[in-house]
Amino acid sequence: MIATLLIQHEKLEQLPSGGTLSPYGVHQKHGQITSQALQLLSSQRRQFSNTYISVKLDETSGVAVMKLKRPPVNSLNMELLTEFAINLEKLEIDRGCRGVILTSAVPRIFSAGLDITEMCGKNADHYGEFWRAVQEMWLKLYGSSMVTIAAINGSSPAGGCLMALSCDYRIIANNKKYTIGLNETQLGIVAPFWFKDIITEVIGHRAAERSLQLGMLYSPTDALKIGLVDEVVAEDKVQSTASAVMAQWLTLPDHARQITKSMMRKPSLDRLVTHREADITNFVSYITRDSIQKSLQMYMEMLKKKGR
Ligand SMILES: CCCCCCCCC/C=C/C(=O)SCCNC(=O)CCNC(=O)[C@H](O)C(C)(C)COP(=O)(O)OP(=O)(O)OC[C@H]1O[C@@H](n2cnc3c(N)ncnc32)[C@H](O)[C@@H]1OP(=O)(O)O
């Protein structure tokens, strides 16, 4: 533990005080994350696989490929979110890692977003803990000092889209069947302010407002038109393009790029960090409303019927 903290301190010291993104949430974790972190941090160093995440770090390039592997749809439940935050933190403190490519091991799906079953029929304590884990994932990913590239090899609604939006660059496979967007209103729920902030940062106010109000899901080419993704490439070129773009980004000196990234992202990160507890309270009181529970249950039933 002491060794881990020292390594982290050294890596953070490379940036001027206030210039690093990494401290967000790092040591504000609840007990569950901390004890799991200790187990994971002591495991094998360059390749690790947990229940729902696999990570391969190429020591030569300094690039890690992080894959979501929770079939059938990579929905983000508490365990996956926790593993994600821990693994990203592990890479963050590893001096040999400068970039992360985020992708999916599940065919045709990047991520179906938050696991709706985590937001239905549970008690307030559960919802609070779940939302803290969602926040933690976002603070770690959006606040990462590494180069982060989303290799979107399948559909990516809602929380899946949030993950992609939190990366530095987005490459999506050219397949009309794949959709991406923040579709929360279609579920009868509201995307929280930090989801709204990040999509606004990426696509601008007008497009974000329309997109959020209508809960729009875009095909890859339409997503490219509004700037929701940076590139659309053939399905079999997603990973190689991600590697090539990563190599290009890594030609920049880390120090200059990291401080610039921090400068751009700090206001949004600060907003959530400052209002974190209020955001949890707000989520819990919102999600426990009867009308919201009913909407989510109806949406789940609709999904199940469609699947039959
Ligand atoms: C004021 C503000 C305060 C805050 C207010 C609150 C803010 C909340 C913010 C919420 C953010 C979110 O991410 S909410 C999540 C939004 N996500 C979505 O709308 C995606 C819904 N899913 C889909 O569209 C599709 O499943 C898709 C991903 C394209 C894959 O389609 P497929 O045909 O391949 O697969 P399906 O047959 O549909 O699904 C396979 C199985 O997975 C299940 N499944 C699919 N998506 C799931 C999901 N997200 N969570 C759980 N389970 C899911 C289905 O029910 C099926 O279960 P079985 O039938 O049992 O096999």
| 184 catalytically annotated | yes
111 Cα nearest atom in ligand 1: 28
pLDDT given for residue 38 in this prediction: 52
> Do you find a cis peptide bond into 267, omega within 30 degrees of 0?
no
Q: Is the pLDDT of residue 26 over 60?
A: no
Any atom of ligand 1 within 6 Å of the Cβ of 118:
no
Q: Is 107 in the pocket of ligand 1 (CB under 6 A)?
A: no
**Which atom of ligand 1 sits closest to the CA of residue 183?**
19
Write the DSSP assignment of 192-260 as a string of letters. Answer: -HHHHHHHHHHH-HHHHHHHHHHT--B-HHHHHHTTSSSEEE-GGGHHHHHHHHHHHHTTS-HHHHHHH
Domain 30-307: which topology? 2-enoyl-CoA Hydratase; Chain A, domain 1 (3.90.226)
pLDDT in tens, 189-215: 999 999 999 999 999 999 999 999 999
* 38 catalytic residue (yes or no): no
Q: Tell me if residue 282 is catalytic.
A: no
pLDDT of 100-122, one tens digit each? 999 999 999 999 999 999 999 99
Specify the ligand 1 atom closest to the Cα of 192.
2
Q: Whose CA is nearest to atom 56 of ligand 1?
A: 304
73 C-beta closer than 6 A to ligand 1: yes
Domain boundaries, the chain: 30-307
307 CB under 6 A from ligand 1? Answer: yes
- In angstroms, the CA 42 to CA 44 distance is 7
What does the pLDDT look like over 228-250, one tens digit per residue?
Answer: 999 999 999 999 999 999 999 99
Give the closest residue to 150 by CA, choosing from 175, 170, 172, 123: 170
Q: How far apart are alpha carbons 61 and 100 in whole angstroms?
A: 11
Mean pLDDT of 49-65: 96
Q: How far is CA 24 from CA 19, 29, 90, 160, in A?
A: 12, 10, 14, 21
Measured distance CA(48)–CA(24) in Å, rounded: 24
Residues 231-241 as b/e (b if ≥16 CB within 10 A, e otherwise) read: bbbeeeebbeb
- The pTM of this model reads 0.89
CA-closest residue to ligand 1 atom 31: 73
CA 79 – ligand 1 centroid, Å: 17
What are 294's two structure tokens?
A: 């009913």
Residue with tokens 């993104």: 21
Give me the interface pTM, i.e. the ipTM.
Answer: 0.99
DSSP state of 103: E
Inter-axis angle of helices 276-287 and 290-307, nearest 10: 70
Q: Is 114 a catalytic residue?
A: yes
- Ligand 1 neighbourhood includes 303 CB (under 6 angstroms): yes
Q: Give Cα separations from 252 to 15, 22, 88 (angstroms).
A: 15, 19, 21
Residue 73 alpha carbon to ligand 1 centre in Å = 8
Both structure tokens of 229: 């993704």
Whether residue 23 has pLDDT greater than 70: no
Structure confidence at residue 42 (pLDDT): 46
